């Protein structure tokens, strides 16, 4: 009898939780950049780069599993544009092969990201304010690097080139990206919301093999959403 009551109770709780879940969709603009760090001395390894933001986009969905009236666990799946751009200087002083390049390096990547956030919400005015945080794991599915600038190799030449990126431990960049999400927004009773977020990459995607260097994703986003 206890087993029957326990099973019935668990089923009721599961059905109630499922009935209370809310599905959300969202889309917006991302302003990604990158954090570059190096302790290597000049000529011993790659330098630090001062990355500035690109402009990209994101689109995705979420599922809210309510724990209480004001707290929910919110996993999701998002297609997210990341990357950044920086000024670079490259040189090759080999005999009879002098080459220097100065210009801009723009990195544009697209990730499939799975965040799991703890979200709090409180009634405010005609809707509710919400904020939360949690971990994410993302997998790079495509990317492009673009160089534009001036090259000197006997003569001055304008260069503009694009390269499709390869991801993996021995490729251009690592495929996986792990970090923390932070989010906040305001939702109307109709279900529409405006929100902003910040992604803090904790793992380096650099594959140069220098222990002293790291390259981590940073992401600011703003967008609109709707909860069913």
C-alpha span between 118 and 226 (Å, rounded) = 18
**Confidence band (pLDDT; 50, 70, 90) for 49?**
confident
Mean pLDDT in residue range 29-56: 78
* CA dist., res. 165 & res. 144, Å (int): 5
Reported pTM:
0.84
What's the pLDDT score for residue 158? 87
Checking if the pLDDT of 11 tops 70, the result is no
Mean pLDDT of all residues belonging to the chain: 86
Residue scoring higher pLDDT (46 or 206): 206
How many Cβ atoms from other residues are within 10 Å of residue 217's Cβ? 26
Q: Taking Cα atoms as reference points, which of 72, 75, 76 lies closest to residue 17?
A: 72
Amino acid 151: pLDDT: 83
**Band of pLDDT at residue 1, cut at 50, 70 and 90:** low
Res. 12: pLDDT tops 80: no
- Domains observed in the chain: 22-227 (2.40.160)
pLDDT tens figures, 179-212: 999 999 999 999 999 999 999 999 999 987 655 6
- Mean pLDDT for 46-73 is 91
User: What percent of the chain is predicted at pLDDT more than 90?
Assistant: 66
State the DSSP string of the chain: -HHHHHHHHHHHHHHHHHHH-EEEEEEEEEEEEEEEEE-PPTTTSPPP---B---EEEEEEEEEEEEETTEEEEEEEEEEEEEEEEEEEEEEEETTEEEEEEEEEEEEEEEEEEEEEEEEEEEETTEEEEEEEEEEEEEEEEEEEEEEEEEESSSEEEEEEEEE--BSTTSSB-SEEEEEEEEEEEEETTSEEEEEEEEEE-S--B-S--TTEEEEEEEEEEEEEEE-
> In this prediction, what percent of the chain has a pLDDT beyond 70?
82
């Amino acid at each position: 009898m206890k087993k029957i009551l326990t099973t019935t109770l668990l089923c009721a709780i599961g059905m109630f939780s499922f009935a209370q879940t809310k599905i959300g969709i969202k889309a917006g603009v991302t302003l990604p950049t990158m954090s570059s760090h190096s302790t290597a001395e000049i000529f011993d390894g790659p330098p630090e780069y001062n990355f500035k933001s690109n402009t990209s986009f994101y689109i995705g969905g979420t599922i809210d599993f309510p724990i209480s009236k004001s707290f929910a666990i919110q996993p999701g799946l998002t297609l997210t544009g990341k990357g950044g751009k920086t000024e670079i200087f490259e040189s090759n002083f080999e005999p009879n092969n002098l080459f220097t390049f100065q210009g801009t390096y723009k990195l544009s990547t697209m990730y499939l990201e799975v965040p799991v956030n703890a979200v709090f919400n409180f009634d405010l005015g005609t809707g509710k304010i919400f904020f939360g945080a949690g971990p994410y794991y993302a997998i790079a599915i495509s990317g492009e690097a673009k160089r534009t600038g001036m090259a000197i190799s006997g003569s001055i030449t304008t260069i503009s080139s694009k390269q499709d990126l390869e991801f993996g431990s021995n490729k251009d960049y690592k495929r996986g990206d792990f970090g923390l999400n932070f989010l906040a927004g305001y939702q109307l009773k109709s279900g529409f919301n405006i929100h902003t977020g910040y992604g803090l990459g904790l793992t380096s995607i650099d594959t140069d093999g220098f222990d002293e260097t790291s390259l981590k994703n940073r992401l600011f986003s703003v967008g609109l959403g709707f909860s069913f």
